[in-house]
Amino acid sequence: MHSNTPKTPKVPKTRIESALAVFALAAICVISLANVVVRYTTEASFAFTEEFSVFLMVILTFAGGAMAARSNENIRISFLEHHLGPLGRRILYTLQWVISLIVLTLITWYSGLLTLEEYQWDSLSAGLGYPTWLYLIWLPVLSVAIMIRCTQNWWQRIRYDVAEGQA
């Protein structure tokens, strides 16, 4: 008998998040190295390095979170997953997905409000004087990306019943 559902899941693709994470990590490395070289050769430091490094670290964290959510490599306790049957695992996957969406929705909502307030107040960053909303806008955007990747992962796990260690 031929089934339309493949036996094995497709390899998850996270090219956009991977590119963002690689760019952020490379930029952090270059900025930090340049700051160290300048500090030891001139006894001064770049004032902007901390501001950009923190911003890029947030980008790296959220892009990495989206990649982990899609490829089922996020941190969790899989004890129950290993001891439940197929129906129990599907219920557990759905519960994990719903809780993740609730948390990420709250992050999206409150970071969106913060971004809007910073935009309306014309707040500027302390180091370089850039508008802070330019840094903050990435929080809700990448939170939505994580929600999308969580949903893709949940659907794949429900469809293929992929338990930790079985993929």
Instruction: Give the model's pLDDT for residue 74.
Output: 78
For the segment 112-155, what is each residue's pLDDT rounded down to a tens digit?
999 999 999 999 998 888 999 999 999 999 999 999 999 999 99
Whether 10 is in a domain gets the answer no
Distances (CA, A) of 158 to 14, 36, 78, 99, 154: 20, 49, 16, 16, 6
Domain extent, residue 35, equals 15-160
Q: How many domains does one find in the chain?
A: 1
Whether 126 is in a domain gets the answer yes
Whether 31 is in a domain gets the answer yes
Whether 85 is in a domain gets the answer yes
pLDDT classification of 162: cutoffs 50, 70, 90: low
Tokens of 78: 């899989």
Instruction: Give the model's pLDDT for residue 147.
Output: 97
Whether 153 is in a domain gets the answer yes
Tokens of 86: 């197929």
Whether 121 is in a domain gets the answer yes
pLDDT classification of 167: cutoffs 50, 70, 90: very low
Whether 2 is in a domain gets the answer no
Whether 110 is in a domain gets the answer yes
Across all residues in the chain, what is the average pLDDT? Answer: 87
